[in-house]
Amino acid sequence: MSHRLSVATLVSAMALAACGNSGSVEDESATATAAAAGAPAVQLVDVPKALQLTADPSIRIIDVRTPEEFAEGHIERAELFDFNAGGFSEKIAELDRGATYFVYCRSGNRSGQATAIMAELGFTHVYDLDGGIVSWLAAGAPTVG
């Protein structure tokens, strides 16, 4: 009977350990160290968070769709940086790496690639709209143009 109790105790202890806090001190410390070392920070955000970000006038909004897509409707204050046009990386490289950017495209593919380029170039405050303008419009968020 004591063997069964020992096994039950061991199984319970293992289950509790597996359910521990995934945001451990070591994880937080590593994240803080990476941020302090200038590691790029790109965050994928949903529409509610995107609405908060786009309401902040200090955040630059970058639309990486084509001029035709942009003309059909875009997020207010968005600047067009056509990902498919030649010289995209060079144009992005001219931006202030310390500023904060909100980037989107149609569905999230081009913005994911664009934000990866931004991270490689050393940008540290970049937000990418999950699902692109498709998710923005599906949520009833406003566009202009």
7-29 pLDDT per residue, tens: 333 333 333 333 333 343 333 33
Question: pTM of this prediction?
Answer: 0.73
Q: How far, in whole angstroms, is CA 69 from its chain's centroid?
A: 22
- Domain extents in the chain: 36-138
Beta strand 125-129 with 79-80 is unpaired
pLDDT digits (tens, 9 = 90+) for 60-78: 999 999 999 999 999 999 9
Q: What is the CATH number of domain 36-138?
A: 3.40.250.10
Q: How far apart are CA 49 and CA 53, in angstroms?
A: 6
Note the pLDDT of residue 110: 99
**Given this model, what pLDDT does residue 37 score?**
54
Please give the C-alpha separations between residue 93 and each of 37, 44, 96, 114, 123, in angstroms, as whole numbers.
20, 21, 8, 11, 9
